[in-house]
Amino acid sequence: MAARSDLRRVLVLNGPNLGRLGRRQPEIYGTTTHDELSALCVEWGLGLGLDVEVRQTNHEGVMVDWLNGAADDETPVVLNAAAWTHYSYAVYDACAQLTAPLVEVHLSDPMARPEEWRHHSVVTPHAAAVVAGRGVDGYREALETIAAA
């Protein structure tokens, strides 16, 4: 879909395994599929005056390239870095370059999860806001945060 010049462009970037939403541990991540989440983000964005593009990758270098592009274009980002949240210094460095707002989002609340390694985020130091534990609605809240910035 072509960008609309009357709307502010926003990227929603999703990391590894999020393409399996609806099938992967629905008791933790819900039953909404990634395609459904993408459609919701586009719809919510339009209502907020945002032209939302949703992307998902299982490849860290692709994510870094997308973040570098967002830095170059000064594009706001909603980022669910998934597992990379907890250890990827490549994602950390790419987020450090962003000048437009970055909102970190997680379907579950990593701090409430039993695995200790989930309690650290390399994204948070660069984020204007963090939305966690609100399921799919967390993406709506993240887009609202960007629209208000």
Show pLDDT as tens, one digit a residue, over the chain (149 residues).
445 568 999 999 999 999 988 887 777 666 889 999 999 999 999 999 999 999 999 999 999 999 999 999 999 999 999 999 988 999 999 999 999 999 999 997 876 666 775 657 999 999 999 999 999 999 999 999 999 99
CB 141 within 8 A of CB 148: no
Please report how the helices 34-47 and 137-148 are oriented relative to each other, as an axis angle in degrees rounded to 10: 30
CB atoms < 10 A from the CB of 84, how many? 21
- Please tell us whether the domain made up of 8-148 is placed in CATH 3.50.50.60: no
Active site residues: 29, 106
User: Which strands sit side by side in the sheet containing 129-132, from one edge to the other?
Assistant: 50-56, 8-14, 77-80, 102-106, 129-132
Tokens of 146: 């960007």
Binding residues for substrate: 80, 86, 93, 107-108, 118
How far is Cα 146 from Cα 22, in angstroms, rounded to an integer?
26
Residues 28-39 as b or e (16 or more Cβ within 10 Å = b): ebbebebeebbe
Question: pTM for the full model?
Answer: 0.90
How far is Cα 94 from Cα 132, in angstroms, rounded to an integer?
21
- pLDDT at residue 56, rounded to an integer: 98
